[in-house]
Amino acid sequence: MGNYVARRIFATIPVMGVVAIIVFLMLRLSPGDPAAIIAGDHATSDEIAEIREHLGLDRPLLEQFIRWLGQLVSGDFGVSIYMEQPVLGLILERVEPTLALAISTMIFAIALAVPLGVIAAWRAGSWVDQTIMALSVLAFSVPVFLIGYGLVMGFSLALELLPVQGFVSISEDPIGFLQHILLPTVALGLVYTALLARITRATMLETLNEDYIRTARAKGLAEPRVLILHALKNASVPIVTTIGTGLALLIGGVVVTESVFAVPGIGRLTIDAVLQRDYPVIQGVILVIAGVYVLVNLAIDLTYSLLDPRIRY
């Protein structure tokens, strides 16, 4: 047990190491001079030289990497070139809207997808199943901005029920927070819902074919009890795993959704950084997001190994 936990935790180190190498090499291996890229199109050669020296780009590659890695480990993600503030501070300033949107989307998607997936598997092949599956393919294909602007046109502009855009902190105004977060959550949540509904249906289909389900039905248990306590409980591992891996899809969608609804989150920070070629910020965002992604998936794996003793990879 402890052995597995230790191994699983240890396994995240090479992954994060590779992420660090990728992020580090991205700028160095790009066509052209990184200092010139950072300086922008109109920089003078003096400015470029200054940036090169400031970032230590004139040193050997390995030395640069080790120095950079040492800084990362001590929590120093560098300083934004454009805003001249520590990158980690900039990210933390913007984390609340992004986190709020991601969490509300997960709640929305799980609450909607799991019942839909269970019903689709329970009535597999029926028109209910066909409709749910067709809608999930549709949700996969419709771009976030079409759903987003559609919702804004309907609920904000035509019906004037909800604000068009922006974000309000939950600590300042809980009602305003809910009003602002509702439309982005739905716009972003549909793709994630589709993904989870599909995996729920697939694993439920397999579980419903097990012998113990037939036994449960044969001994006269009520169908909801069979579905939820016997089938869903046993089908939950792949579903929760997909919630974790689907986080990558969710985070990508967050960037676009924040842009549609003018939410001042990490997505906005990233796009501004790319437009200004603020490389330390881009690197910082990628590292932090990848770190969160790896940690969440680690937490999910460990939780399951504690709950279900059969799981040992």
Closest to 78 measured CA to CA, from 99, 98, 56: 56
119 touching another protein, by CB under 8 A: no
21 touching another protein, by CB under 8 A: yes
Which positions ≥6 away from 42 have C-beta within 8 Å? none
- In the list 113, 232, 290, 300, the residue contacting another protein (rule: CB under 8 A) is 290
Paired tokens of 96: 């609340």
- Span near another protein by CB under 8 A; candidates 22-30, 70-78, 166-174, 303-311: 22-30
129 touching another protein, by CB under 8 A: yes
Task: Output 178 or 271, the one with its CB closest to another protein.
Answer: 271
Task: Output 177 or 236, the one with its CB closest to another protein.
Answer: 236
Residue owning tokens 């305003």: 176
Which positions ≥6 away from 291 have C-beta within 8 Å? 16, 19
Q: How far is the CB of 252 from another protein (least distance, A)?
A: 3
| 98 in Cβ contact with 266 (< 8 Å) | yes
Task: Output 178 or 237, the one with its CB closest to another protein.
Answer: 237
CA separation for the pair 34, 229 (Å, rounded): 57
Of residues 196-225, those binding another protein (CB under 8 A): 198-199, 202, 205, 209
Classify the phi-psi angles of 166: left when phi > 0, otherwise alpha if psi is within -120 to 50, otherwise beta.
left
88 touching another protein, by CB under 8 A: no
Closest to 262 measured CA to CA, from 158, 142, 164, 162: 164
Q: How far is the CB of 18 from another protein (least distance, A)?
A: 3
Q: What is residue 86's three-state secondary structure?
A: strand
- The binding site for another protein (CB under 8 A) comprises 14-19, 21-23, 26-27, 30-32, 37, 124-125, 129-130, 137-138, 140-146, 149, 152-153, 157, 198-199, 202, 205, 209, 247-249, 251-253, 255-256, 259-260, 270-271, 273-275, 277, 279, 282-283, 285-286, 289-290, 293-294
